Amino acid sequence: MRKPIIIANWKMNFLRDQANLYVKKLIKKLGNKENIEVGIASQDLFLTDLIKLTENTPISIVAQNAHCENFGPFTGETSPKALANVGVDYVMLGHFERRELFNETNSTVNLKVRTALNNGMDVIVDVEELEQVAPVLEGVSEEQMQQIIIGFE
C-alpha cells in the first residue's frame, strides 16, 4: 500500500524568498517522518530552488502543470522532459482551474498524462467527476498506473 501523500498547491502565491523560508520551516517541523509524504506544488520559477532545499527530506516537489509536447514552439509552456530533467518528483495535471480557465479537456489532459509518464514522471491527475477518470487515463498501461495518483477535487 502506498503511503499517504499530502500536497500543498501554492497556485500563483509566494515570492522566491517566501517559498524558500516556508519550505525550510516545513522541513524542521516534519523532521524525518517516514510514514507520510508531503508535496509542494509551486510555481515553475521556484522548482529548482525547492528541489535543492528538499534533498534528503520527505518533501516531494510537484509541478503544477506541463505541456503535452517535450519540445516545440509553445511559448510560455513547460516541457515535461525539462521538468523530469531538473528533478521534479510529480506533475499535477487536469486541475479544475486549468479546465475552466484554459479550456483543457479530458483529451488534452490525457495527452499530457501520457507524455509525462513517457518521461518517467509520477503524475497526479485531478478530476472532479468519476466520469473523467477513464478518458484521462486512456492508453495508460497497467504498469504506468503505478505512477499515477488520482486526486478528486
Residues serving a catalytic function are 95, 153
Helix, strand, coil percentages (3-state) for the chain, rounded to 5, are 40, 20, 40
Q: CA 5 → CA 37, 58, 60, 90, 140, distances in Å?
A: 5, 10, 9, 12, 22
| Residues 131, 97, 88: CA angle, nearest 5 degrees | 95
Q: What angle do CA 131, 42, 75 make, to 5 degrees?
A: 80
Q: Are strands 5-9 and 90-93 parallel, antiparallel or unpaired?
A: unpaired
CA distance 48 to 53: 9
